[in-house]
Amino acid sequence: MRLSRATQDRLAPGVQSYGYDRDAQASGIVHIGIGAFHRAHQAWYTDRAMDSGDRDWAITGVSLRSPGVAAQLNPQDGLYTLSERSADGTRIRLIGAVRGVLVASETPAAVVERIAAPETRIVSFTITEKGYCRAADGSLDTDLAGDGSVYAFLGAGLAARRRAGLGGLSLLSCDNLADNGRQLARLMSAWLERHDPDLRGWFEHECACPSTMIDRIVPATAPADRIAVSAAIGATDEGAIVTEPFSQWVIEDRFAGPRPRWEGVGAQLVPSVEAYETAKLRMLNGAHSALAYLGLQQGVAYVHEAVGVPALRDMADRLMRDEAAPTIAPASGQDLDAYRHDLLARFGNPALGHRLAQIAMDGSQKIPQRWLETLAANRAAGRRSPVILAAIAAWLRHVRGDNGPVDDPLAERFAELWATQDARGVIQTLFGAQGMFGAIWQAGEGEIAELVASLG
């Protein structure tokens, strides 16, 4: 028996479920990049908001290219289960917020139609850092931002809304980018200036791009997870999500129109998310990436195993306490020391099975905000960052291919660099004054020598 509307009433008694009428809910949200994280985070919040009486916020998911999620969810009428795992046990909830999934590469007109629909009020995104098509200096990479990019679909949808006399949208980035809302607004404006200059002014006046900070550890669902979930609920769930009990969502309260009452189910609506997002990027994400590259080179596979290695746990702790936290100006009531302790406990959750290889993907898109901004801030304050420097050395070994095939949008570029230059040349090309990342942080001579020595 596969999970669907027809079978949901036959699930095991212990499965929690929504209580609203799905058929009566209009699709108020289009979410682009409907992977595991969205289903464990924003869709989970929205499902519970509708369960609390909020209406007409059903989600139409969009996959830009891969049909994988559509194949998982559409035969299940958009339904899936979310399992919160900890050492104390597992809690399972049936999520009803997702109406269905469109594959943009297969039905592009349908995606534009949903963005332009009168009932759509919000378009949200989890497209990962590389989905924003940024050049190394943060500007829009016009070669990457082509017809299949998120900007092309947004541009067509917004143009249709303007022609129909409809209002603008709230565009809600939920990706790990510092100041993600304003980055999205800037990049969208740059795309419109190039492709539809007349629409740019309308977009900037009618639409809003609130910044957000999102936090929940969501490992990729393994086949063994699906088997365990199916046994627990009494049905096959190809869209099953496994996550931790903890979740945080901080949202800048700056919308173009109506929004769900997410604050009623635990989200924080604030004037500014800067301190929260900086802490998350530099502490949680920074430590995660360090554990990934340092752990992989020691043959460790999972996050909880990495923090079980005393030397790696100590390095993650020192990165957060001594290198990241001093660069953050906390918001009122934000306790960075307590946050650090909570993160170490979350990293050690043995029930998640969060693979280091998953965190290590796309490192070229992640390290600027996770490590390099911290390095630059500490240098300006006269402080060293030895743990991050050791992590950079591990990342350099990783993109050299020491841990196997490299999953990164710049993998071919890295292979070419390592094939044609020595270690010093590679470091200069990446972190020199004119280097790929040099606009954020430049390695000094002492740091270059230290990195060269560690690379062998």
Judge whether 8-270 and 274-455 match in fold.
no
Would you give the end-to-end CA distance of the chain in angstroms?
A: 55
Q: pLDDT-derived band of residue 248, with 50, 70 and 90 as boundaries?
A: very high
Q: pLDDT-derived band of residue 370, with 50, 70 and 90 as boundaries?
A: very high
Q: Which tokens hold the place of 194?
A: 């190039």
Distance CA 209, CA 111 (A): 20
pTM score = 0.85
Q: pLDDT-derived band of residue 321, with 50, 70 and 90 as boundaries?
A: very high
Q: pLDDT-derived band of residue 353, with 50, 70 and 90 as boundaries?
A: confident
% the chain with pLDDT above 70: 100
Question: Topology of domain 274-455, per CATH?
Answer: N-(1-d-carboxylethyl)-l-norvaline Dehydrogenase; domain 2 (1.10.1040)
Q: What single-letter amino acid sits at 105?
A: S
Q: Which of 44, 190, 188 is nearest to 123 (CA)?
A: 188
Q: What is the pLDDT of residues 306-318, one digit of tens each?
A: 999 999 999 999 9
In the chain, what is the greatest distance between 2 CA atoms, to the nearest angstrom? 66
Helices 423-431 and 386-400, packing angle to 10 deg: 110
Distance CA 432, CA 440 (A): 10
In this model, does residue 258 exceed pLDDT 80?
yes
Q: What is the pLDDT of residues 151-197, one digit of tens each?
A: 999 999 999 999 999 999 999 999 988 899 999 999 999 999 999 99
The predicted structure's pLDDT at residue 137: 83
The predicted structure's pLDDT at residue 177: 87
CATH 3.90.1520.10 at 8-270, yes or no: no
Distance CA 101, CA 272 (A): 32
The predicted structure's pLDDT at residue 176: 87
Q: What single-letter amino acid sits at 343?
A: L
The predicted structure's pLDDT at residue 232: 97
Q: What is the pLDDT of residues 78-105, one digit of tens each?
A: 999 999 999 889 999 999 999 999 999 9
Q: Quick one: residue 33, left, alpha or beta (phi over 0 = left, psi -120 to 50 = alpha)? A: left
The predicted structure's pLDDT at residue 335: 95
Q: What is the pLDDT of residues 57-75, one digit of tens each?
A: 999 999 999 999 999 999 9
In this model, does residue 138 exceed pLDDT 90?
no
Q: What is the pLDDT of residues 288-305, one digit of tens each?
A: 999 999 999 999 999 999
Residues 6+ apart with CB under 8 A from 406: 398, 399, 414, 415
Domain ranges of the chain: 8-270, 274-455
